[in-house]
Amino acid sequence: MEKSEHIALISIIINIILLVIKYVFAALSGSAGLAADAIHSASDVIASITVFVGLKISQRKSKRFPYGLYKVENFVSLIVAIAIL
């Protein structure tokens, strides 16, 4: 596993932990703000998973693309940027 994949995986794990913590405290306290932040953390998890998948796809090599599908990283970055916007 490359360093970038490892970092993306750590990001996914941390965001899931934050999502669970925020959701639990929102449920216990009844805080609408904390519930909204839990939803925001869910979108961060989705973005992190998208980046991880994009990194995995970009490393695929074939006869037609001997250096891999490295341009997929740019496309995934664009998707995540649109999702954030």
**pLDDT tens-digit map of 19-39:** 999 999 999 999 999 999 999
Which residue stretches of 1-85 are H helix? 3-29, 32-58, 72-84
Distance CA 35, CA 19 (A): 10
**Are 52 and 9 a contacting pair, CB within 8 Å?**
yes
Q: What is the domain extent for residue 58?
A: 3-84
Is the pTM higher than 0.75?
Answer: yes
Give the chain's domain count: 1
Is pLDDT of 2 > 90?
no
Is pLDDT of 69 > 90?
no
Which one has a higher pLDDT value, 58 or 44? 44
**Are 12 and 45 a contacting pair, CB within 8 Å?**
yes
* Reported confidence tier of residue 68, pLDDT bands at 50, 70, 90: low
